[in-house]
Amino acid sequence: MFTATLIAAPDRADLSQTMIEALRNAWGGGDAEWLAGGLAAEFPLPDLQQNQWEVWESLQAEGFDLVVQPTDARRKRMLLADMDSTMIQQECIDELADAAGVGPRVADITARAMNGELDFEGALLERVGLLRGLDAAVIDNVLAERITLMPGGPVLLATMKANGAYAALVSGGFTAFTTAIAAKLGFDEHRANTLIVEDGKLTGDVTRPILGREAKVSALEQITARLGLSSADVIAVGDGANDLGMLGLAGTGVALHAKPSVQAKCGVRVNHGDLTALLYVQGYRAEQFVTP
């Protein structure tokens, strides 16, 4: 059995009974259930539909997300999340670069790297090199003044943890940021790259080994092994090319507002919903959400 979940943008909440029933009837699905009025609904399916992605594209154009997945074991026991443009709305290195006066140059490299056009490690070192000499105190200023949480993140973490899930933040960014974000959201652990600081200034380098795509896969494997879980127990979320490994390995890999090259390789794509979409995908109803 499979489950089809429809999700609307939170600021619109315009999912209608008519739309749900039309799709259910066209696909021969079972009784539809609301997960949140106007926001999310689901219905069972006996089989995958050949026109799934054509329907997905049509719904995308109307501002709705559609996820079709196996019904069994949808609710996961571990959350593995990217940070930049996933749990927060910014790319930390771009914000540091802007403060250092090299914002446009670094932002261009970031966009190309996240779309898979550049080698992640080389792109990271090139961008960090442009930060050489920046006062390390700028990091705290950026955290306080420029970094904002992705909508739905606090509820996602609080709800999954209240239901016994483990949460790990794994970023190709920097520990100076993951430390703060992990603590703020309630992650159980975090992994990222460490900026090297000497005499209060960034040296333009990071400690080795560099955490990139393979390190995120290793994190999933290591943490699940330690907890006695399997990759099938994990819901992973990210937006960049360096997230594809962990998204592909996880039981449910969610491309959240992701780059086109990433979406093309993921079966679960969320472009209109916020992070609470990950709860609807797991079958949680809005009344089961936990607000921290």
Residues with catalytic function: 82, 84
Q: Which two structure tokens, joined as six digits, stand for 285?
A: 């109803």
Q: What is the DSSP letter of 136?
A: T
Bond preceding residue 260 cis, omega within 30 of 0:
no
Please report, for the chain, how many H helices and E strands are present, in that order. Answer: 12, 12
CB-based contact 235:278 (threshold 8 Å): yes
Q: Which two structure tokens, joined as six digits, stand for 150?
A: 């992705």
Long-range contacts of 206-212 (CB under 8 A, 24+ apart): 206/124, 206/125, 206/128, 206/174, 210/121, 210/124, 210/125, 211/170, 211/171, 211/172, 212/120, 212/121, 212/124, 212/172, 212/242
